[in-house]
Amino acid sequence: MPIIKDFKRIVNDLKNFLYSVRPNVDTSPGTYTRDVVIDAPANELSAFYTELYRASLAQSPETATAGDVESLGKNFQVFRKGATPSSGIVTFYAFAEPSSSITIPRGTQLATKASVDGSARMFVTTQATVLAATHFRVTSGRYEINVPVRASIAGTSSNVGAGSLSAIITPISGIDGVYNPAPIVNGTDLESLTIFRSRLKSVITGNNAGTFSGYYQTVTRILEVLDAKIASIGTGEAELRRPDPSAVDIYIRGIVSAQAPTESFIVKQSTPFDYYLNKQPLDIDSVDSIVVTGSVSGTLVLNTDFTVVQDKSALGGTIRGSDKLRFTTGVLEEQISIIYSYNSLVESVQAYMQADSRKVLGADLLINGAFPRKINVECTVRLLSGYTAVTVINSVTTNLQTALNAYQIGEEVQQSDIIAVITGTSGVDDVTIPLDLFEEDTTTGTITQDTTGNLIIPVNSYVIPGNITVNVRV
């Protein structure tokens, strides 16, 4: 690091030099010696030292400014990630029994309720599906079908709480409404400088794709990959390793729900029988939107005529997985057609890592989709004077959703951190401790608090917001 001199120090050094050769020289402000001989070159030298200091800082990811660290990253083909849109599930419903199947096209536009300023957030469906008379739900007394959606714009502002969507912009005859039963999450803003600096340092210190750091920095360059864990013989988490010495398992956080090409087959055996899906892994969040139609049997019903069996083996969550449909209904020689969604991010990252320029000879590399775990939180807060309950409840809910979305793969969720998010929200005086509810939603698993009140997340999983409930006490 060079010794940086500011304007004042340069002036003093020049004055001392002149005094050493001409002790009686006048260096008072306004004199020729001060204005021309001292101040003029001192000003230029000061600017030079400032630029030298900036250039020195710019050489390190730790000290470079935002602009400089991004420029430094370009030298290593590492770019700061942009924002990503949120995704989730919505439920379309009809009050009257459909006289015939109602098709909900892929790309159907939806919107949230308008905010105070009149704005709304837009979403589109990412899979075509069908609502039929067989989709009656006793719990709601309506005909309902779930469909995966993705936000039209990127950013954390696209994350919305349960029940936020209510408008169908693209009218569909026979459909009476839509809502989202759970939060729509995973929308992210521009990558933070802290995370970008960390990724860049990983590249600089180890950019060989065959190393632990090399695999990490390569896979996390992909925009939709929010986090990754690498495991192979001798490195990474032991629970994530396959026994094969050449195996390299990379677990990624991220979901891009895409509709698979429609698959068809002819029934050649009596029930029950299994059908293995061509596109792996299945988007588990969107299983309720799977459309299965028999040329003789008609529309088949999930959990009545067929069930979804997720592959839980070491290959589950990869393109080599065996997610399947198990049929209990089917007529010999009839044609069965299937429409479903899968996590296309696993497929695209696998292809990216196997490109000739990145493939490591002798390595059996496999991309695994880490499993999302929905965390339910219920709390009771007391308000500060001057704040309304609705405003504070909305703020706490939003802050908790943002905090849970930020956790990495396998990261423990500590109750104290959740409480800190709540108490740090404007308008909250205090929160009742312990939390009223703090556990995993039963739809994704059974994680409960350990003896210290925290949630221990498996190394192949990450948390996302489940049901957030905020109560107010006097």
Provide the residue type at 343 as one letter: N
Query: Are 377 and 360 members of one domain?
Result: no
Looking at every residue in the chain, the average pLDDT score rounds to 89
Specify the pLDDT at position 233: 75
Domain that holds residue 41: 7-57
Going by pLDDT thresholds of 50, 70 and 90, the confidence category of residue 422 is: very high
Percentage of residues in the chain having pLDDT higher than 90: 57
Residues 167 and 232 in one domain: no
- Tell me: pLDDT of 204 over 80: no
Same domain, 342 and 230: yes
pLDDT digits (tens, 9 = 90+) for 11-66: 888 888 888 988 888 989 899 888 888 889 988 888 887 777 766 666 666 666 77
**Domain identity same for 236 and 320:** yes
Tens digits of per-residue pLDDT, 115-166?
A: 766 778 999 999 999 999 989 998 899 999 999 999 999 998 898 888 899 9
Phi-psi region of 155 (alpha: psi -120 to 50; beta: other; left: phi over 0): left
188 closest CA partner among 217, 225, 221: 225
Tell me: the pLDDT tens digits for 245-284? 889 999 999 999 999 999 999 999 999 999 999 999 999 8
- For 328-371, what is each residue's pLDDT tens digit? 998 999 999 999 999 999 999 999 999 887 888 788 999 999 99
Q: What are phi and psi of 201, to 5 degrees?
A: -60, -35
Query: Do residues 307 and 393 share a domain?
Result: no
**Per-residue pLDDT tens digits for 74-85:** 877 788 888 999
Residue 156 shares a structural domain with residue 212: no
Same domain, 359 and 210: yes
Distance CA 163, CA 311 (A): 31
245 and 290 co-located in one domain:
yes
Same structural domain, 254 and 287: yes
Give how many domains the chain has, as a whole number.
4
Highest-confidence segment of 46-50, 115-119, 202-206, 458-462: 458-462
Same domain as 343, residue 419: no
Q: What is the pLDDT of residues 410-420, one digit of tens each?
A: 999 999 999 99
Q: Quick one: pLDDT at residue 176?
A: 95
Residue where a domain terminates, one of 57, 74, 99? 57
Same domain membership, residue 132 and residue 96: yes
Same domain, 465 and 386: yes
pTM here is 0.75
Over residues 10-26, the pLDDT tens digits come to 888 888 888 898 888 89
Residue 425 has pLDDT above 80, yes or no: yes
Average pLDDT over residues 303-322: 93
